[in-house]
Every structure is written in structure tokens, then in C-alpha cells.
Structure 1
Amino acid sequence: MLKPENIPMLLVGLRFAIAPLLLLDAFDHHTGIAFVVGYVIAVLSDIFDGIIARRLGVSTERLRIADSWADISLYVCIAFSVWLVFPQTLSTFQMPLLVAVAAQLSLFAINLIKFQKLPSLHTYTAKIWGLTLLVATVGLFGFGNDQLVWLAIALCLINSVEEILMTLILPEWQCDVLSLAAAIQIRQTWRSP
């Protein structure tokens, strides 16, 4: 029988399972409504795993790290799906996308160097970026409209810069630090006797 405290991890697992199915759907260079529905379900699983975990008091470091890896898996599969189905979009946004990828890789590298772990901050800017990615991805795969890709790239850069600064400020690795202000407060508290 399913225990309520296992629901958040099952939702994370659902995202891990959906990600390669989306990529598989894109291999023929076409996607349909099933792709969009699968993607929306994956995003909803991302939203609700954290809400449910906090309400049940099971929001552990292990769960938050798994959540971050599921996000990475999902968006790597989405990126390859864009490459397969909408190569012209990648061409149009080539330079901004490369800057955004470089910013994310820099964030990962700084975290690995400082903490030997990938980031799992789950900031407000990451949440806004995630919603922007949802709208941009549904716009692209559902309607063939790539105009919101600009907004997703801009929010990626804002989030990356914020999380890089947070990583440099935080005295030790932590998950669920929601903002730069929260990281500064943690740093000040850490320095206090």
C-alpha cells in the first residue's frame, strides 16, 4: 500500500520516467498533443512534489537533490527534443542559448568546486524561470511559437547569476534557500558568535 510520505518521491520518479519518453516521441522530428500533455504532467509533478513533501514534513535533502536531478533530466530531454523538432529555433536563439548554457554550467562548476555537490537551492527566481519554461515550451511544442524563448533565456540568466552569488556567499551547501537575501542572512548568522 502506498504511504503518503512516499508520494513526493514517486512524483520525482514520474518526472524521471516522463523525460526520456518525451525525447523518444521527438525522434521522428514531430510531436503532438501527447508530448505537450506529458510535459505538463512532468511540470505539475515538479510543483506538487515539493508542496506535498513540505506538508507531510518529508522534505529531506535526499528528496530535494533527487528533485534537482529530475529537473536536469527533464530539461536535457526537452533541449534535445527542440533540437530534433525545431532546429530553426536553436539556430535563431543560438548565441543567447549558448550564454544561458554557459551560465548554468558555471553555476554547476562553482557548486562542485566549493561544495562537491550540484546546487539545489530552489529559489524564487528558479520557480519563475520554471513557469516561463513551461509557457515557452508549451508555446513551442503546442503552437509552433518560439517568441517566449527570449523570456525563458532572460530568466535563466537572472537565476544563474543569483544562484552563483548565493553559492559564493553561503558558508556551506544547503538546499531550499529561496533568495539572495536569505543567503546573505544565513551568512550573517553563521558569522555571529
Structure 2
Amino acid sequence: MDRNIPNILSIMRIVLSISLLALIPYKIIFVTLYIFIGITDVLDGYIARKYGLESDLGAKLDSYADFIFYLIFVIIFLIKYTSIIKYKHMIMLMVIIAIRLLNLIFTKIKYKEFVFIHTIGNKLSGLIIFLMPIMLIFIKSSILAWIILTIVLISAVEEFLITVKYKEPDLNRKSIFLK
């Protein structure tokens, strides 16, 4: 097995995530690519763990790919679902983005590098954000947006608290309550 396959999948995810912006009007292609991006997100970690190909570079690439995908997702969400987004949702979203950016700045100062921690909360947030467009097909509700934003906010705060609490970065720390 080529040692670079997980990293290639993460790099592919970055490029494909950005290309989603151009594909918004083409629903079938957009949805197909969206699902493919989700599959590659699962595959890169699975392959790395199963074949002992885990690396710091791979963990960072995966985190950057996730960050870019979520950023693109927020942009697309704001374009496509303006009917259910309320002013208060926007404020909460801005708070989440501010916490995430503050955490990036803090990790860069504290650890001399950008750090994204693979907590259970961040993984749950990622899954929920990934499934959100599918959920919105069945439930077009601002309550769903509140639930999702609350989960994402909790995971952002937890990641920041982990960064503040620990001297050394541990990209694979599961939670502030667990190792």
C-alpha cells in the first residue's frame, strides 16, 4: 500500500471542496461530489489507521481538508438556505467562527503551528454538518439549525479549552474529559 494514499485523499478533498462552489447549480453533480468528499474523509483516516500509515502530516492535511470543507459548506449553506436562517442563527454562527479563528491564532502562538484537534465533538460536528443538507430535505426548520449550531458551538469551545489547558498539542485527544 502506498504510504501517501491517505494524504492524497486529503489533498483531493481540499480541491474538490473548493470546486463545490462552482457546482451549486448542477444538483446531481454537486450531490455526487459532496457524497464522494464525505467518503474520502472517512477513507483517509480508515486507510491510515488500518495500514499503519498515520502521520503528523496526514493528521494536519485531514484537519485542513475538514476546515476548508466546513468553510465552503457555510458559504453554500448561506447561499442555498437563506429562507430558514434567522438573524440569531447568524450571530451564533459568527460566534462559532470567531472561536474557531481564535483557537487557530492561539495554537499558532502557543504551539508555533495551527492545530485542529480530532475530538469526539469535532467528529460529531463534522458528521452533522455533512448530513445537514440531507436532513434539510426532510426537515426545513430553524430548530434543526439551532440544534446543529449548538453542537458545533460546544465542540468549538471544547477544542479551545483543550488548547488552553494542555502544554503540548495532541491532535487525537478525544475530549477534554478523555485522553
Aligned match of 1:52? 47
Choose from 24, 46, 65 the match for 2:22: 24
SS of equivalent residue, structure 1 residue 121: coil
Matched residues, percent identical? 27
Aligned match of 1:80? 75
The answer on whether the counterparts of 2:14 and 2:69 sit within 8 Å (CA) in structure 1 is: yes
Distance 1:149 1:4 in 2: 41
Instruction: Encode CA deviations 1:16-49: one digit per residue, 9 max, x unaligned.
Output: 12112111113xxx45132222112212211221
Instruction: Encode CA deviations 1:93-137: one digit per residue, 9 max, x unaligned.
Output: 212211221221222222122112222321111111111112213
Pairwise CA RMSD of aligned residues?
2.1
Aligned match of 1:99? 95
Aligned match of 1:189? none
Q: TM-score if structure 2 supplies the norm length? A: 0.87
Q: Which residue identity is paired with 1:23?
A: L
Q: Which has the larger radius of gyration?
A: 1
- 1:139 and 1:34, CA in 2 relative to 1: closer, same or farther beyond 3 A? farther
The answer on whether the counterparts of 2:84 and 2:140 sit within 8 Å (CA) in structure 1 is: no
- 1:149 and 1:34, CA in 2 relative to 1: closer, same or farther beyond 3 A? farther
- How far did 1:51 drift? 1.5
Distance 1:131 1:173 in 2: 23
Aligned match of 2:167? 171
Query: How do 1:176-187 and structure 2 match up within 5 A?
Result: 176-183=172-179
- 1:79 and 1:56, CA in 2 relative to 1: closer, same or farther beyond 3 A? same
Q: How many residues align?
A: 177
The answer on whether the counterparts of 1:136 and 1:146 sit within 8 Å (CA) in structure 2 is: no
The answer on whether the counterparts of 1:36 and 1:138 sit within 8 Å (CA) in structure 2 is: no
Structure 1 spans left out of the alignment, 5+ residues: 184-193
Q: Which residue identity is paired with 1:59?
A: E
Q: TM-score if structure 1 supplies the norm length? A: 0.81
